[in-house]
A and B are shown apart, each in its own frame.
Chain A
Amino acid sequence: KAGVTQTPRYLIKTRGQQVTLSCSPISGHRSVSWYQQTPGQGLQFLFEYFSETQRNKGNFPGRFSGRQFSNSRSEMNVSTLELGDSALYLCASSLEAGHTGELFFGEGSRLTVL
């Protein structure tokens, strides 16, 4: 069974640009969550989608957005990039949105903003 796949794995952007990251969950999983990981801050929750609906949202500015497609694949977009957006962006999938179960993480997309 294939795991959570995130693309691209690495990318470099400059300030002001925008970026789109993609996440393909494990087959059959309908919930996808996104986290930003930075040294000293741990994992900061961005948002969660379940059956194409945003169920939860973290405390990030509106420059951060996401969506989920009918096949459960998800994308997140960051517009007008800032230096502080440099981070590892992790996607996690789960069977349901209630979080009584396990989150399955991808290896992440490492974004560097110059």
Chain B
Amino acid sequence: AQSVTQLDSQVPVFEEAPVELRCNYSSSVSVYLFWYVQYPNQGLQLLLKYLSGSTLVESINGFEAEFNKSQTSFHLRKPSVHISDTAEYFCAVSASGGYQKVTFGIGTKLQVIP
């Protein structure tokens, strides 16, 4: 079975400062990794995903995440945050191949301070 650990439940950061949201996973098989974002009173939206290939993946709004197999991590980073980035971010994992469920972490609330 797979599991995800998001080490920080809340991360306050000033506008235009960099941010890193940490995610570690556990799995005995190859995995797919995802970051989802949830804005207030909305469902989750996919931010970015790692399936294979380049270990650095990027989103259209400036976020990036790097798959590190040796450290079993998939941390999310952004060099300069904006007020509109205030949301809850969920890291997720599924085993590759077959009919596998997606397991989510408990989420990290990013609060951007003006």
Restricting to B1-55, which residues have a CB under 8 Å from any CB of A? 6, 9, 32, 36, 41-46, 49, 51
Task: Give the Cβ gap from B102 to chain A, nearest Cβ, in Å.
Answer: 6
**Is A41 in contact with B106, judged by CB distance below 8 angstroms?**
yes
CB distance from B101 to the nearest CB of A (A): 4
Question: Given A35-B104, A42-B106, A105-B45, A100 and B51 touching (CB < 8 A)?
Answer: yes
Instruction: Tell me whether B98 and A98 are in contact (CB under 8 A).
Output: yes
Number of residues of chain B lying within 8 A (CB) of chain A:
26
Kindly state whether residue B94 has any CB partner on chain A within 8 Å: yes
B100 CB within 8 Å of chain A: yes
Q: Given A43, A58, A98, which contacts B100 in the complex, CB threshold below 8 Å?
A: A98
With a CB–CB cut-off of 8 A, which chain A residues contact B90?
A: 42-43
Contact residues of B between 66 and 93, Cβ < 8 Å to A: 90
Name B32's contact: one of A35, A55, A99, A108 (CB within 8 Å): A99
CB neighbours (8 Å) of A48 from chain B are: 99, 101
Q: How far is the CB of A96 from chain B (nearest CB, A)?
A: 9
Q: Are B102 and A45 in contact (CB under 8 A)?
A: yes
- Interface size of A by Cβ–Cβ distance < 8 Å? 25
User: Which residues of chain B come closer than 8 Å to A106, judged between CB atoms?
Assistant: 43
B41 touches A99 (CB 8 A): no
Within 8 A of B (CB), among A16-34: 33
Nearest 6 A-B pairs (CB), nearest first?
A: A105-B43, A42-B106, A43-B104, A56-B101, A105-B44, A55-B99
Interface residues of A (CB under 8 A from B): 4, 33, 35, 40-43, 45, 48, 50, 55-56, 58, 90, 92, 97-100, 102-103, 105-108
Interface residues of B (CB under 8 A from A): 6, 9, 32, 36, 41-46, 49, 51, 90, 94, 96-107
